C-alpha cells in the first residue's frame, strides 16, 4: 500500500505546473483512490469508460483482443502514467480496448465530469493535461517509427533500453505481444 498518494500526485503535477496548497486541495477533491489485484481487469472491452487512471503503483497493460482471441498490447503503464481507453473516455463510447493489471495496482481515478470541472475551475490543470497529452502523442509517434525502421531485434533492444525494468516485471511472452512478434521469435533473439 502506498503511504502518501497525495504527495505522489502533487509532485507529479508540479513537475509541470506549480500549485498552491489551496489549489491542490481543490484538485485532489476530484480524484478517488482505487486498488486492483494482479490479473484483474480495470476496463473490459465493451464497458462504459467512466474514468482515466493515474497509476500510483503497479503495472497495467492496455490491449486489443482480436477475433481469434489474440491480445495486442497498445501500451504498458506504470507508476506516474495516465491510462485509459482515451477514445472511449473522451467520446463517451464503449471501450474497444481492455485495461488489465500485470501487478497489484493502485490508482487515482478521475471521471470525465470531474476532469471537465477541474479544467474549468483551474486553468493550470487544463495546461497540465495538454502537456501530458502532447507527451503521449510524441511517445506514440516514436513507437510508430520503431515499427517503420526496426526489425524484431532492434525493437526489442529499443524497448529494454527505454524501460529496463519491464524485463524483470513482465514475462517475455507478454513483451512479444507489445513488440508485435511471436514469443518464439522473441525467444530466439537470444542475448
Partner DNA sequence: TAAAATCTGTGATGTTTGTCACGCCTACTT
Partner DNA sequence: AAGTAGGCGTGACAAACATCACAGATTTTA
* Residue ranges in contact with DNA by CB under 7 A: 151-153, 171-174, 180-185, 187-188, 190
Nearer to a second copy, 6 or 143 (CB): 143
The whole-angstrom separation of Cα 176 and Cα 171 is: 9
81 makes contact with a second copy (CB under 8 A): no
140 makes contact with a second copy (CB under 8 A): yes
Residues 48-77 that bind a second copy (CB under 8 A): 64, 66, 72-75
Work out which of 36, 76, 129, 156 binds a second copy, going by CB under 8 A: 129
The whole-angstrom separation of Cα 78 and Cα 176 is: 18
Nearer to DNA, 21 or 184 (CB): 184
Q: Which residues pair with 109 in a beta bridge?
A: 32, 53
Q: How far is the CB of 179 from DNA (least distance, A)?
A: 8
Q: How far is the CB of 77 from DNA (least distance, A)?
A: 18
172 makes contact with a second copy (CB under 8 A): no
User: Burial, 164: exposed, middle or buried (Cβ in 10 Å; 0-12, 13-18, 19+)?
Assistant: exposed
24 makes contact with a second copy (CB under 8 A): no
Q: Which three cell numbers stand for residue 128?
A: 497540465
Work out which of 2, 119, 152, 166 binds a second copy, going by CB under 8 A: 119
The whole-angstrom separation of Cα 155 and Cα 7 is: 35
Give the position of cell 464503449: 94
Nearer to a second copy, 1 or 138 (CB): 138
The whole-angstrom separation of Cα 152 and Cα 159 is: 11
Helix (H) or strand (E) holding 75: strand 71-78
Amino acid at each position: 500500500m502506498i503511504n502518501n498518494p497525495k504527495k505522489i500526485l502533487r509532485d507529479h503535477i508540479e513537475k509541470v505546473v506549480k500549485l498552491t496548497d489551496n489549489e491542490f486541495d481543490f484538485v485532489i477533491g476530484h480524484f478517488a483512490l482505487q486498488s486492483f489485484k494482479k490479473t484483474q481487469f480495470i476496463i473490459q472491452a465493451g464497458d462504459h469508460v467512466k474514468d482515466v487512471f493515474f497509476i500510483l503503483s503497479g503495472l497495467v497493460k492496455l490491449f486489443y483482443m482480436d477475433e481469434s482471441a489474440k491480445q495486442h498490447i497498445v501500451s504498458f503503464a506504470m507508476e506516474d502514467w495516465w491510462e485509459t481507453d482515451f477514445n472511449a473516455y473522451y467520446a463517451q463510447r464503449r471501450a474497444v480496448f481492455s485495461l488489465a493489471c500485470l501487478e497489484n495496482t493502485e490508482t487515482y481515478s478521475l471521471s470525465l465530469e470531474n476532469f471537465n470541472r477541474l479544467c474549468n475551475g483551474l486553468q493550470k490543470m487544463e495546461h497540465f493535461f495538454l502537456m501530458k497529452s502532447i507527451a503521449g502523442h510524441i511517445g506514440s509517434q516514436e513507437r510508430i517509427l520503431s515499427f517503420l525502421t526496426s526489425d524484431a531485434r532492434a525493437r526489442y533492444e529499443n524497448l529494454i533500453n527505454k524501460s529496463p525494468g519491464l524485463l524483470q516485471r513482465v514475462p517475455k511472452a507478454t513483451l512479444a505481444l507489445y513488440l508485435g512478434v511471436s514469443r518464439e521469435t522473441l525467444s530466439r533473439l537470444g542475448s
